[in-house]
Amino acid sequence: MSRKKMILDLDTGIDDALALAYAIGHDDIDLIGIIATYGNALTNVTAKNSLDLLDLLGAHDVPVFIGESHSSTTTDFTVMPISQAIHGQNGIGDVEVAASMRSVDSQNGIDFLIEAAHQYKDALIYLPTGPLTNLAKALEKDPSIAKLIGQTTLMGGALTVPGNVTPFTEANIHQDPEAADYVFKNQENLTMVGLDVTLRTLLTKKHTQEWRDLGTTAGQNYADIMDYYIDAYYNLDIDKKGAALHDPLAVAVAVDPSYVTTLDLNMQVTYDQESGDYGRTIGDKAKLLEPTISKAAVLVDQDRFVSDFQQMMLKVLA
């Protein structure tokens, strides 16, 4: 297949770091930029993490842009303690990666997304792995991108399983449910890769030992980062069998949809704080008879994906 242009919108924590590496290594992906957002860490920290990891992996030509620093309904942002426990104080497992000498791009991330949508149209994949604030802002500024962007594949939400912040809400959606609702109701060609499938894709220290055995700085750094994540999953009793490959699965699905089984469904996100029905990703009852603009992944070929992911990481980290 011809290479797809991809924009990653990352709140660069640990699984975002894996998604970045996977996108760099994939022969069918031309990574044209990263938009930094808030979530696992503050936006200035996630931008730095992206720059440092890009340079670590030799992707010195991929620019990083600054996106929003807080949700659409707040004026600031504080990292949740659970996010710090899972991703570390610096977002990448408190591992010190060599600092990039590059700076973030002067163009705003939202303007970059809009410009890329007009330039690449169907060839563009936009892939947010954090809150959907940046896409909502871009849609409000230029509604035409809803039809221009070839494909939007997001990591977030939970349709058939409980959330990981509340019984209903997944972390990325929880950061800005209002923005997420706007995106789900407006952005076309959208695929939700949520906890329904990502929680089934687990990486273990057996995998990360193979990264270490490569004998490279990238292999060592990434193994240290991922082992922190695996330990956090174990110690917080999230999963004692390994740690989930949330964000890289979304990247994989964007270029090979056969990894997952999807359900065509027009979706909405609830944001009624009074009732507590806040941040639930669910079918939009008002659009049951309308053509669907979105789909949700509900099953995954986890064995094939985890194997393919490991082979990709061994290639990239070598």
Residues annotated as catalytic (active site), given as ranges: 11, 246
Residue 32's SS3 state is strand
| Both tokens assigned to 2 | 């011809």
Tell me which DSSP letter residue 108 carries.
B
Q: Which run of H or E residues covers position 35?
A: strand 29-36
Alpha carbon separation from 118 to 146, 149, 258 (Å, rounded): 11, 8, 28
Strands (E), 75-209: 124-128, 151-155, 190-193, 202-203
Strands (E), the chain: 4-10, 29-36, 64-66, 124-128, 151-155, 190-193, 202-203, 243-244, 260-264, 267-272, 277-283, 294-300
Q: Which of 192, 191, 48 is nearest to 34 (CA)?
A: 48
Residue 184's SS3 state is helix
Q: Which of 69, 61, 63, 77 is nearest to 44 (CA)?
A: 69
**Positive or negative: CA dihedral 126, 129, 135, 137:** negative
Residue 263's SS3 state is strand
Please give the single-letter amino acid code of residue 299: L
Alpha carbon separation from 129 to 16, 39, 191, 282 (Å, rounded): 7, 10, 12, 19
| Both tokens assigned to 171 | 């972390």
Residue 167 to residue 25: CA distance in whole angstroms? 35
